[in-house]
């Protein structure tokens, strides 16, 4: 199984994937921002990096996405992992990889799609927050859900503290999902439903606050 990881920034989820000893050959890490910190991390781990600067394409999203698809196809990737890739993709691009493209989002979707999820979760007063791995579909942050992890929201949380608690869980569930995919245990059905062949957890609940 060959995969590529798309990033825009620091690349901590990318690093979690690269270090997870997955049965995956990571063919390359591609960033739309040449300055992304994650590129140096990927290189230090022996992974090919490609900077595909979206600003060169101006407002022409289709041209950027066509260049991106050309790279992914040249690399013969079976799976595309979006890991902090902060760019909306065209419908044509998404449809080309439908069922073969995963994203990690820092909220319990369908709550808090989009940006600033942690500040918005605090403002909404939710007591449980978390992260989601989902298949990518044309509607942003709305694709079929693969796996989620939940964390408590604490009274003295700041967006930064909450983000750190969620990020630790992102680094757990994204490698899990990619492993399931690589092992042929995760599929997106033609009916749009996710099928995961994973061990069932004993039933338990996260209650927050739990006093």
- Residue 37: which region, alpha, beta or left (left: phi > 0; alpha: psi -120 to 50)? alpha
Closest distance of CB 136 from ligand GAR, Å:
10
Helix/strand/coil for 61: helix
Structure tokens at 66: 């066509």
Task: Rule CB under 6 A: say whether 130 interacts with ligand GAR.
Answer: no
User: By the 8 A CB rule, do 99 and 187 touch?
Assistant: yes
Tell me the C-alpha distance between 85 and 33, whole Å.
10
Count of residues touching ligand GAR (by CB under 6 A)? 14
Helix/strand/coil for 11: coil
**x/- site string to ligand GAR, residues 131 to 160, per CB under 6 A?**
------------------------------
With CB atoms as reference, the residue minimizing the distance to ligand GAR is 84
Instruction: Determine the Cα angle at 109 with ends 106 and 113, to 5°.
Output: 70
**x/- site string to ligand GAR, residues 83 to 112, per CB under 6 A?**
xx-------------------xxx------
* Closer residue to ligand GAR (CB): 73 or 116: 116
Task: Rule CB under 6 A: say whether 10 interacts with ligand GAR.
Answer: yes
129 is catalytic: no
User: By the 8 A CB rule, do 88 and 95 touch?
Assistant: no
Residues that bind ligand GAR (CB under 6 A): 7, 9-13, 38, 83-84, 104-106, 167, 170
């Amino acid at each position: 199984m060959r995969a590529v990881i798309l990033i825009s920034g620091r690349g901590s989820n990318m690093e979690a994937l690269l270090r997870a000893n997955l049965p995956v050959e990571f063919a390359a890490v591609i960033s739309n921002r040449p300055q992304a910190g994650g590129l140096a991390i990927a290189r230090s781990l022996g992974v090919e990096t490609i900077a595909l600067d979206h600003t060169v394409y101006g407002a022409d999203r289709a041209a950027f996405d066509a260049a991106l698809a050309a790279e992914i196809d040249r690399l013969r990737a079976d799976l595309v992992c979006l890991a902090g890739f902060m760019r909306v993709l065209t419908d044509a691009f998404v449809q080309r990889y439908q069922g073969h493209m995963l994203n990690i989002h820092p909220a319990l979707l369908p709550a808090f799609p989009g940006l600033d999820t942690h500040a918005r979760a605090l403002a909404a007063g939710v007591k449980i927050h978390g992260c989601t791995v989902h298949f990518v579909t044309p509607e942003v942050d709305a694709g079929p859900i693969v796996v989620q992890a939940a964390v408590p929201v604490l009274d003295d949380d700041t967006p930064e503290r909450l983000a750190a608690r969620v990020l630790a869980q992102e680094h757990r569930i994204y490698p899990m999902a990619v492993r399931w995919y690589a092992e042929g245990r995760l599929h997106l059905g033609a009916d749009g439903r996710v099928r995961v062949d994973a061990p069932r957890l004993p039933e338990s609940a996260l209650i927050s606050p739990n006093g």
